[in-house]
């Protein structure tokens, strides 16, 4: 087997892990929607992110046991980044989860995927240059959002609006992780951010919601999926995939979660899209892909 064949095999394996991540994350929107039939959004997030943090502990312990000679990053930077990222995750996940109460899993998936375009646009505040294809993708995605979410009376549904704001916070989260990841223990940072999100969500649920053990039991399957599969398993697959896949390839594959969210909503929740919404969803997905075309070509 030649070196080129080995590299192709590594790339195929990496992209397979990323596709599995997209499938898990897409179906997580279905689990999040189902969970809202039994429990409040902040209690749901509090429990699932707590489970997600616990599911990552074995990876942290195993990695440290096998890498005792590796110099560890400054724990103060890791904790600072983890706490800051956790606050952003709390806001992003909270807005998304409340929004899902008033919209469909498919809509939530497509609107959330806009964070891929929002990230470089937020870079304007850091004086980053935005390539023309990103502007083109953004315009197309916004047109898609109009067809997907804005009614003929020029009103956007409250659920779609909240999910859109959450996409802005998810984009902020990407920027924060990008700043801290090179200087931190990334697994420990992830555990810290998920625990911070869990504690803040549970505190909010204590103030705003009524939660009983029966409610938790009724929502147990969506909670377990959202915590263990969406956070623990998918996070691991994402890391394994991004080791060998160029960032632009990864971004495009992971954006497919919106399609799996819509497919899962149709198959499991019997959610239907109108012709207008289908056009909007396709425009949004095309806009996301177009915004990555130049990076995709550079990553070959």
Q: What does the pLDDT read at residue 155?
A: 65
Domain extent, residue 92, equals 3-298
Burial (Cβ within 10 Å: 0-12, 13-18, ≥19) of residue 6: exposed
Q: What does the pLDDT read at residue 237?
A: 82
Mark 25-36 as b/e (b = at least 16 C-beta within 10 Å): bbbbbbbbbbbb
What is the Cα–Cα distance from 16 to 281, expressed in whole angstroms? 24
Q: How many domains does the chain have?
A: 1
Q: Give pLDDT tens digits along the chain (300 positions).
A: 677 767 778 778 888 888 899 899 899 999 999 999 999 999 999 999 999 999 888 877 776 555 554 446 677 888 998 899 999 999 999 999 999 999 888 888 888 888 888 887 887 777 767 777 777 877 888 888 877 777 665 567 889 899 999 999 998 988 888 788 777 777 888 899 999 999 999 999 999 999 999 999 999 999 999 999 988 888 778 777 776 777 666 777 877 888 888 888 888 988 888 887 788 888 888 887 777 666 555 554
What is the Cα–Cα distance from 293 to 300, expressed in whole angstroms? 11
Q: What does the pLDDT read at residue 198?
A: 96
Q: What does the pLDDT read at residue 70?
A: 45
- Taking alpha carbons only, the member of 120, 128, 119, 225 closest to residue 170 is 119
Report how many helices (DSSP H) and strands (DSSP E) the chain contains, helices first: 15, 0
What is the Cα–Cα distance from 212 to 272, expressed in whole angstroms? 32
Q: What does the pLDDT read at residue 248?
A: 64
What is the Cα–Cα distance from 292 to 233, expressed in whole angstroms? 26
């Amino acid at each position: 087997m030649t070196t080129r064949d080995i590299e192709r095999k590594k790339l195929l394996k990496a992209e397979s892990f990323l596709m599995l991540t997209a499938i898990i994350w897409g179906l997580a929107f279905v689990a999040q929607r189902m969970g809202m039939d039994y429990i409040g959004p902040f209690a749901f997030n509090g429990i699932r992110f707590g489970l997600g943090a616990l599911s990552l502990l074995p990876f942290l312990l195993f990695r440290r046991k096998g890498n005792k000679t590796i110099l560890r990053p400054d724990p103060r930077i890791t904790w600072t980044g983890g706490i800051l990222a956790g606050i952003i995750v709390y806001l992003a996940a909270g807005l998304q989860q409340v929004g899902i109460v008033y919209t469909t899993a498919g809509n939530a998936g497509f609107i959330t995927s806009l964070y891929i375009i929002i990230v470089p646009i937020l870079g304007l505040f850091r004086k980053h240059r935005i390539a023309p294809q990103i502007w083109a993708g953004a315009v197309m995605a916004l047109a898609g959002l109009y067809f997907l979410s804005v009614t003929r009376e020029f009103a956007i549904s409250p659920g779609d609006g909240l999910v859109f704001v959450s996409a802005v916070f998810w984009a902020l989260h990407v920027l924060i992780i990008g700043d801290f990841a090179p200087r931190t223990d990334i697994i420990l940072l992830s555990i810290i951010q998920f625990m911070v999100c869990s504690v803040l969500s549970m505190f909010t649920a204590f103030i705003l919601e009524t939660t009983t053990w029966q409610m938790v039991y009724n929502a147990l399957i969506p909670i377990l999926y959202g915590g263990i599969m969406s956070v623990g398993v998918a996070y691991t697959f994402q890391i394994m995939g991004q080791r060998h896949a160029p960032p632009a390839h990864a971004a495009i594959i992971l954006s497919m979660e919106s399609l799996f969210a819509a497919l899962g909503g149709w198959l499991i929740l019997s959610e239907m899209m109108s012709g207008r919404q289908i056009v909007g969803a396709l425009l949004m997905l095309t806009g996301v892909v177009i915004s990555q075309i130049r990076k995709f070509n550079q990553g070959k």
